[in-house]
Structure 1
Amino acid sequence: MAYLFTYHQVMARFLDFWCSFKFRETSHSFTHFQNEDYLGSQHHQPGLIPMGRSGIRIQHCFNILGIERSRDNKGWELRQTAAYHSYDLIEGRALWVVLKGDNTMRRRLETTTEESIKKGDAPLQSVHASFAQTLTDHLLIMQWCVENWESYAEGLERKYASLSGVADHAPVDDLADDIAIIKQHEKVDITPGSPLKQQTSGLEKSPESPGFARRLSMKVTGLSTVTQVEPPPRKVEHVRMEGLVQFDELQSLSSLAKSLGEAVSAITQNRRVLAQIREYYRELVNSEGFKRHVPKSTMKLCKQAASEFAMKIGRLEDDLANYEGNLKTILHGVERTETMYNGILQYQSMRTAKYFAESSEKSTEIMKGWTQEMHEKTMSMHVITVFTLIFLPGTFVATIFSSGIISFGQDGGPGFGSAMGAWKVRLAALKLFASVLYISQGPVTY
């Protein structure tokens, strides 16, 4: 290969394109156009005439990107084609070196050349015919970078449509309202002993009467239980807000956006290379070097061929621009859907936080009510205790005197006035009272 490149004086910059064809994990994604022309009088080399070359030549190299089916035919892959071209303006001889990973370009060039010969076109030995043929070969190579983009864009659009339905049509507000309803149902499920109050057609269904233990607890504590209202039915069945957006869908959207970005970049670079080649030939046929070496009789035909060539390249650029616009539209839709998905997740977090904040506020209000009720009951107990302490000594004394342990008067008389007499204490009764009092208090330990 080094010998062939040296023999044909291939420009050194083409080696950069040559070296880009290697095993790689990701597709090659850059395009370039380089040219080196030798049209000055000093570039004429008489020693090359026996080899059919004069040394007066134009040469350039470029690469373009295209989309093709993968080897397993299950997806698409971004691939490149690189080409080197030189053309001798004196001898009318052209050289092509085309690099591609398969035989697509070789078959196309061979088929086109054979068809041109069969049609009996102008002899390729003439400068005009050979120059026009090189332009046709350029178009044949450049046509490849315009193919398959429509099918590729349609596939990406179908994939995007399958991912954007949730963001475009999901009842997000209804699902957000169901967050509180679902939480209430879960709370009822984990507290089966809580009384429920059902509301049907405006009529309340009384809860079942609490058991004896619960009634006794309510009487002792003075606290009433909280009656839970049965939650209303969900607005959207079988779907939850947290299940609306799955992480694998976000990953698929990200992968789709990456593929679209790569496709847009490839088309943009192809358009740039095509525009550079079009501008290059437009300037070439009007340059002094080209006029110096091309006969005037042929100049007009070469300019006409270059004009038609530029027009055809413009059509290819328009096709690429249409595909680029379509892909950008899909890309904007993917970015919008990603924004919608992120908005749904944020809205879900906001509504969930709102529910818990409201639940916390309700719980706080309930606790405040219980605290106030406990405070009132405690004050009542304090009042009862004070009055008990006030009346307890009198009750104790009245009990002592009414029991007959201590008596006044004589012979059981009323004991008033002068007949009151002295106190009489019944020691046996007093001992019995002291024994009962001691037993009821229990032994005192220190």
Structure 2
Amino acid sequence: MSSRLIYAKLSSKPLKITPPILKRLLTYHQVMPAFIDFIAVFAHPPQQREIGFSGFFDQTVLSYKAVPGNVAQQQPPAANTAQPLAQAPRLPRGPTVSALGRSGRQYQLCYNLKRVALIEGSAKDKYSEQEWSVQQSEFHHQFDVDAGTTLWMNAKGRLNSKGGSKDYRDRVLELTGGQAGVPNELTFDTTEDCFRSSLTVHLMNCHWATDDWRGYLNHLEVAIGELTNEVPVGIWLNQKFTPRVLQDVQQFEEKASSAVMVLESNMEVMTELRKFYEKLMVNADFPMKDSCVEEATIFIQQLNDMIHAFARQKRRAKLLVEITENRKNLLLQKLQSLATKKMEDLTTLSYREAIVMKIIAAGTFIFLPATFVSTFFSTDVVKYQDSTNGKGSFSWAAMNIWLEVTLPLTFATFIIGFVAFYVADERRKRRMPSSYDEKNKNP
């Protein structure tokens, strides 16, 4: 068994390998080109991570190709040996390199899986103090059905975090009898043992993807519950509801939706992995379809169990998304009601101020004649100061001058007021057109 681990410090950082070394590694092992698409997801900023990218690719070369007749005739029969009529010799369709344990009959698999891990805080901490990360891992596997040569290539991020590359490497070492491992867990004595061990590694990869989903969904449920538990119940106009709460609810809803997408992608990859081995076990060119049928059946059954477990978590996440969406819509309506209530309060305040102004205007109107008379008698139209007999004097000249000045100014005031009112009303109609227009009324 040969294993190659390519890692990065973080999923958003470049892999710890140079392009020339990567090309040499992939060329030496004749890795299928699809693996390039999987490792290309690294070195992207967190906001641009291709978390939705997933896939499963396989390449199977188990059949033989017939040797042309002229090549077969170049092999003379042994002397004094009866030679029956034999078929033309067959050669594997794949490249044969005996020194590297390559018989030319092999299959390749390339897929990726994702999991969640709590990288900061603990499950007992408040939801705002917890930080969860969606981690992905790319797997490439080759198996030679004649020589038993096995290759595993894995690309991961977050070397020292929980569920990261170091955790995965230690698990592989344990399975293969490395550092403080269990030597009998995986054996490679025969071709059948190599095949059984490859199934065990597949299961280890799938189990890696199933970890912590229950805790992550519980974290989302607690967070959304604390933010929205008072939305469907309690008073309608709750001052606790702010746009910040709506923003937090939206963020957790997006996380729940992403969880649904990741769960579905894991289910699809595991389903394709199961279908591949189901087809492999009925392939007539696969030499271990009879000797390893029991192990393959157990492997397929365990894959089915994990797929069903993912289906349960997906239903839980989809229900959480629906509840969050409904509560978010109700929260938005309550925020709109709060805004409407504030506008009503402002309108009421303006109405009260208008009433006060009307009272002042009415009082001014009542006292306007007296003010006018007092002002009129203080002019030179009527004079009492210089009269000796107690009678006043009246001047038509002063009266005419007063009328000539007052009436034009009064008329001009009315004209200016009317024009200003008309302009303001037209501007209001353009900005806020009426929902009921007499001109458009049906006859």
Q: Which amino acid aligns with 2:102?
A: R
Aligned CA distance change for structure 1 residues 28 and 108 (closer, same or farther; 3 Å): farther
**Distance apart, 1:20 and its partner CA:** 2.1
CA offsets, 1:294-349, max 9 Å, x none? 0xxx4323222221111101111122122222222222222122111111123334
Aligned CA distance change for structure 1 residues 63 and 123 (closer, same or farther; 3 Å): closer
Q: Whole-Å Cα distance in 1 between the matches of residues 304 and 267 of structure 2?
A: 9
Question: What is the aligned partner in structure 1 of residue 300 from structure 2?
Answer: 310
**Distance apart, 1:50 and its partner CA:** 2.7
- Identical pairs, percent: 21
Question: What is the aligned partner in structure 2 of residue 40 from structure 1?
Answer: 63
Structure 2: gaps spanning 5 or more residues: 1-20, 66-91, 123-129, 160-165, 370-386, 399-443
Q: Which amino acid aligns with 2:50?
A: H
Q: Whole-Å Cα distance in 1 between the matches of residues 328 and 196 of structure 2?
A: 50
Structure 1 counterpart SS, 2:232: helix
Q: Whole-Å Cα distance in 2 between the matches of residues 288 and 374 of structure 1?
A: 108
Answer yes or no: is the 8 Å Cα contact 1:53–1:93 preserved in 2.
yes
**Residue 3 (structure 1) aligned to one of 24, 30, 34:** 24
Answer yes or no: is the 8 Å Cα contact 1:28–1:79 preserved in 2.
no
- Establish whether residue 157 from structure 1 lines up as the match of residue 178 from structure 2: no
Instruction: Give 4+ residue runs of structure 1 displaced > 4 Å after superposition.
Output: 44-47, 71-74, 115-123, 349-375, 441-445
Answer yes or no: is the 8 Å Cα contact 2:175–2:183 preserved in 1.
no
Q: Whole-Å Cα distance in 2 between the matches of residues 119 and 14 of structure 1?
A: 30
**Distance apart, 1:162 and its partner CA:** 1.4
**Residue 81 (structure 1) aligned to one of 137, 145, 151:** 137
Question: What is the aligned partner in structure 1 of residue 174 from structure 2?
Answer: 111
Answer yes or no: is the 8 Å Cα contact 1:92–1:130 preserved in 2.
yes
Question: What is the aligned partner in structure 1 of residue 258 from structure 2?
Answer: 262
Question: What is the aligned partner in structure 2 of residue 428 from structure 1?
Answer: none
Tell me the matched-pair count: 319
CA offsets, 1:19-38, max 9 Å, x none? 22224223431111111111
Greater C-alpha Rg: 1
- Establish whether residue 90 from structure 1 lines up as the match of residue 154 from structure 2: no
Q: Whole-Å Cα distance in 2 between the matches of residues 320 and 20 of structure 1?
A: 23
Aligned CA distance change for structure 1 residues 36 and 299 (closer, same or farther; 3 Å): closer
Structure 1 counterpart SS, 2:60: coil
**Distance apart, 1:373 and its partner CA:** 12
- Establish whether residue 51 from structure 1 lines up as the match of residue 73 from structure 2: no
**Distance apart, 1:358 and its partner CA:** 7.8
Q: Which amino acid aligns with 1:93?
A: T
- Establish whether residue 141 from structure 1 lines up as the match of residue 205 from structure 2: yes
CA offsets, 1:406-444, max 9 Å, x none? xxxxxxxxxxxxxxxxxxxxxxxxxxxx84343x44766
Structure 1: gaps spanning 5 or more residues: 176-240, 382-433
Answer yes or no: is the 8 Å Cα contact 2:253–2:324 preserved in 1.
yes
Answer yes or no: is the 8 Å Cα contact 1:28–1:80 preserved in 2.
no
**Distance apart, 1:51 and its partner CA:** 2.2
Question: What is the aligned partner in structure 1 of residue 270 from structure 2?
Answer: 274
Answer yes or no: is the 8 Å Cα contact 1:44–1:54 preserved in 2.
no
Structure 1 counterpart SS, 2:197: helix
Structure 2 counterpart SS, 1:76: strand
**Distance apart, 1:266 and its partner CA:** 0.8
Answer yes or no: is the 8 Å Cα contact 1:92–1:125 preserved in 2.
no
CA offsets, 1:37-92, max 9 Å, x none? 11120334685123222010010101111112336884111111001001001111
Aligned CA distance change for structure 1 residues 82 and 120 (closer, same or farther; 3 Å): closer
Aligned CA distance change for structure 1 residues 39 and 250 (closer, same or farther; 3 Å): same
CA offsets, 1:75-117, max 9 Å, x none? 1111110010010011112110011122222111111122999
Structure 1 counterpart SS, 2:154: strand
Question: What is the aligned partner in structure 1 of residue 389 from structure 2?
Answer: 436
Aligned CA distance change for structure 1 residues 356 and 23 (closer, same or farther; 3 Å): closer
Aligned CA distance change for structure 1 residues 15 and 301 (closer, same or farther; 3 Å): same
**TM-score, normalized by length of structure 1?**
0.62
Q: Whole-Å Cα distance in 2 between the matches of residues 337 and 270 of structure 1?
A: 29
**TM-score, normalized by length of structure 2?**
0.63
Q: Whole-Å Cα distance in 2 between the matches of residues 51 and 360 of structure 1?
A: 90
